[in-house]
Structure 1
Amino acid sequence: MEDEDRLYRLNDVAHVAGYIDKAPTKVITGVRRQQNMPLHDRIIPYLETAGLYHLARLNSQWFWVDEPPLSAFIERWRPETHTFHMPFGECTITLQDVAYQLDLPIDGKPVSECLTEFENLMEHGRPAWLFADKNTNQVHLRWLPYLASLDDLGRYSWGSAALAWLYRCLCRGTNRNVVNLAGPLQLLQSWIFWRFPTLRPSGFDGFGFPLASRWAIYLLRNDAGNQRLVSARLSLDRLRVHDFVWEPYSSAEIAVVIHLEILVDEHRRLWMAITSLIYFAAIEWHQVDRVLPQFGGVQHLPQPALNIDWLHAKDGRGGDRWFSTYYQEWHQHWENQLHSIIWVDIACIFHDTSDDLIR
């Protein structure tokens, strides 16, 4: 078994779990995103090629995140393992969840370039498009090479990039000094609703694809956020193994609505890869061997958690870099992903992960 002092080493540094008594009602505020942004007809074919058009169409009805319960989950997120530590064991958001929840492609090139590419593009007179940012009316320059070559957008692994960015935002959110949080928090909230029935809002029985669209008209409650945070913590403290849906995507109802493209082997096999997740300078680790019951497997003793604390301090600032060279080791992990796919021993009888599942 892993040494607890190593596994929870961040508690005595800045992890919010070590400071709950000092700030018992601290609620993380999600960055508000702009809705109802117009979508030009000329852009739609490129978004379709990239497999992103369905997300663009959801822009006008994307649900708001419920910050108090999300804050309670963030308190249980461990940057050391990239998993939520619950009373019944560990669970996390995987590439499988990204495929089902957002219908994003998994296989492809990592989303990672360098700002000097923008200069090269401008020298050759190639066009670049600017879209509105969710905070202001600007976007980072690093996106310009992608927008200047829209025909190539379909070559990239947008699913792994989205998960890398969510992991990074969750890791940042565990810092007790952080009060605002960006990232694809709708993915996190939809994952919670699908896997934790006791936390799911009522009246959302029907669904389509992607599965996150199920909550498109979800409205936030207006009661006190700090009281709801305390209530959410208590709900998580009381969770047992039967309160978590380990395989929510195995039902016949979901098989009817999903797009079969996400089940193509080149994408599906990567769900079980222990590999790097890359979003520019954000490098995270997909350690699915810690959550094998989410794939119907028996939870064997996982590999020791990889210490990437130093990578969490990297944000791409401090000069221009070609990320694929600067982070060559981690890009190599992604390139060699097929060699890091693990086999799952299917569990015939399900057991509590906190007791006798590990063998």
Structure 2
Amino acid sequence: MEGGKPAWQWFEDLFGELPPEDCIDEFTVSYAWFQNRFRVMPNDATEPTVQVYARGYIMMLVADLDGLGKYSWGSATLSWLYRCLCRVANRNVKNLAGPLALLQSWIFWRFPTFRPRRFDVILWPLASRWGRYMSSSDEKGPRVIATRHRLDRLRVDDMPYSALEVIQVVHPDILRPEHTYLWKSTTALIYFSSIEWHQVDRVLSQLGGVQHIPEPAINIDFLLSKDGRGPTRWFPEVFAT
């Protein structure tokens, strides 16, 4: 590769080592090698090691390009966002990780009074509408106090129950029964070891459905402590079935 590193040098940098020669066919690496090499991550793994294993897992996911369209990428994204929101609720956690552009988009769609100005053009995907918005770090303390005060003074009219402006611009196929059945279903959202519950049966009116008396919420607290390491690494066997 002229002007850059050879492909195998990139491979070694990203995955920590080169596979044996009998696992390489020109520019193809045996899928079994990835499975065996990244089967179990050490309990005392350093951050660089975690990153290497994460790349290995991702490579196994995208190995079958024909199957990529069958993954529920949105479910995985929501699961990771919900797990990050659970973690940041811990009094000792100060930083919030996850797909925050999605969280920011939800806030601005559901609380129009908090929207920044000059972002009136609706783009696709919808979460990208405010993708370039950067809040100022000036006078952070007073702004936090002012925002909390505005939250305390919110009225019903300040929180539209359904985003009509979104319904007007979405593709008609999204609103067809065979599709609405999916995003109105109460089910598990899975992202590797992260499992969160899509408790959509409590907000059916927001999605154009008829609200019934919801079933008791499922207690999944025992799943929140599982991080996929050591004895809690259950998901490869489940996903293989």
After TM superposition, the score normalised by the length of structure 2 is: 0.71
Q: Which residue of 2 aligns with 1:203?
A: 118
What is the aligned partner in structure 2 of residue 148 from structure 1?
63
Instruction: Tell me how many residue pairs correspond in the alignment.
Output: 200
Aligned to 1:307: 219
Cα gap change, 1:324/1:294 in structure 2, threshold over 3 Å: closer, same or farther? farther
Residue 210 of structure 1 aligns to which amino acid in structure 2?
Answer: P
Alignment check: 8 A CA contact 1:274 1:289 kept = yes
Q: Does 1:159 align with 2:74?
A: yes
Provide closer, same or farther for how the CA distance between residues 165 and 234 of structure 1 changes in structure 2, counting only shifts above 3 A. Answer: same
CA distance in 1, matches of 2:82, 2:232: 24
Matching residue of 2:230? 318
Question: Is 1:246–1:295's contact at 8 Å kept on the other side of the alignment?
Answer: no
Q: What secondary structure, in the 3-state scheme, does the structure 2 residue paired with 1:180 have? A: coil
Quote the residue 2:203 is aligned against: 291
Amino acid at match of 2:64: S
Amino acid at match of 1:270: L
Q: Once structures 1 and 2 are overlaid, which stretch shifts more, 172-181 or 145-154?
A: 145-154
Which residue in the other structure is 2:107 paired with? Answer: 192
- Separation in structure 2 between the aligned mates of residue 234 and residue 293 of structure 1, nearest angstrom: 28
Distance 1:294 1:254 in 2: 11
Equivalent position to 1:278, from 170, 178, 190: 190
Deviation of 1:205 after TM superposition, in Å, equals: 1.4
Structure 2 gap ranges (5+): 1-18, 31-46
Structure 1 residues 77-105: Cα deviation after superposition (integer angstroms, max 9, x where no partner): xxxxxxxxxxxxxxxxxxxxxxxxxxxxx
Cα distance, 1:215 vs. partner?
1.3
* Contact 1:276–1:283, Cα closer than 8 Å, also in 2: yes
Shift of 1:144: 1.9
Question: 1:269 and 1:322 mapped to 2: Cα distance?
Answer: 29
Percent identity, aligned pairs only, is 55
Stretches of structure 1 lacking an aligned partner (at least 5 in a row): 1-118, 129-134, 332-359
The 2-side partners of 1:190 and 1:222 are apart by 20
Whether the 8 Å contact between 1:209 and 1:259 is mirrored in structure 2 is: no
Q: Please say which structure displays the higher CA radius of gyration.
A: 2
User: Does the C-alpha gap of structure 1 residues 299 and 263 become closer, same or farther in structure 2, counting only changes over 3 Å?
Assistant: closer
Q: How does 1:36-185 map to 2 (within 5 A)?
A: 123=23, 126-127=28-29, 138=51, 140=54, 141-185=56-100
What does residue range 3-18 of structure 1 map to in structure 2 within 5 Å?
none
Cα distance between partner residues in 2 of 1:224 and 1:306? 42
Picking from 211, 216, 220, the partner of 2:131 is 216
Structure 1 residues 297 and 265: CA distance shift in structure 2, 3 A: closer
Change (3 A) 1:262 1:138: farther
Offset of residue 299 of structure 1: 4.4
Counterparts of 1:320 and 1:149, CA distance in 2: 27
Are residue 228 (structure 1) and residue 143 (structure 2) matched?
Answer: yes
| Residue 255, structure 1, aligned to residue 168, structure 2 | yes
In the alignment, the residues of structure 1 paired with residue 228 and residue 140 of structure 2 have an alpha-carbon distance, to the nearest angstrom, of: 34
Identify the residue that residue 14 of structure 1 maps to in structure 2: none
User: RCO (CA 8 Å, sep 6+): is it higher in 1 or 2?
Assistant: 1
